[in-house]
Each structure stands twice: as structure tokens, then as C-alpha cells.
């Protein structure tokens, strides 16, 4: 993990509101679409049981 790169990226976001807004929207979309707890629980369940997941 590169702490210098991390801190530079934080400073970049703090000084560039447009970049911050875009990244925030993309992160929110990712969380809502990919990291939904129900979806994650289904993936884990299917991996544990060997069942094929049902597609939406």
C-alpha cells in the first residue's frame, strides 16, 4: 500500500470538486448495484450449497 499515492489522491479529491462528485456518484452506484447485502448473501449461499443462482 502506497501511503504517498493515497494521500495525493485524497488531496486531489479535496481540491477538485468535480472529480470528487463523479467518484462519489460512481461509488454510490457500485454499492447500490454490486454490493447489495441481499445479492452478496445469495452469492455466498449459492457457493456454499453448490446451487446455480437464479438470474433476475
Collapsed DSSP state (helix, strand, coil) of residue 51 = coil
Report if residue 33 sits inside a domain.
Answer: yes
pLDDT at 7: 98
Termini Cα distance of the chain:
37
Quick: pLDDT tens for 25-34.
999 998 888 7
pLDDT score, position 40: 84
What pLDDT, on the 0 to 100 scale, is given for residue 19?
98
Residue 56 lies in a domain: no
With beta carbons less than 8 A apart as the criterion, state whether 52 and 46 touch. Answer: yes
Read off the pLDDT of residues 9-55 as tens digits, 9 standing for 90 and up: 999 999 999 999 999 999 999 888 878 888 888 889 999 998 876 66
Domain count, the chain: 1
Domain of residue 14 covers 3-49
Residue 18 belongs to a domain? yes
Report field, pTM of the whole predicted structure over 0.85: no
Amino acid at each position: 500500500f502506497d501511503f504517498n499515492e493515497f494521500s495525493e489522491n485524497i488531496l486531489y479529491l479535496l481540491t477538485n470538486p468535480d472529480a470528487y462528485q463523479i467518484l462519489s456518484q460512481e461509488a454510490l452506484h457500485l454499492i447500490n448495484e454490486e454490493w447489495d447485502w441481499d445479492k452478496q448473501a445469495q452469492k455466498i449461499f449459492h457457493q456454499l450449497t453448490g446451487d446455480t443462482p437464479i438470474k433476475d
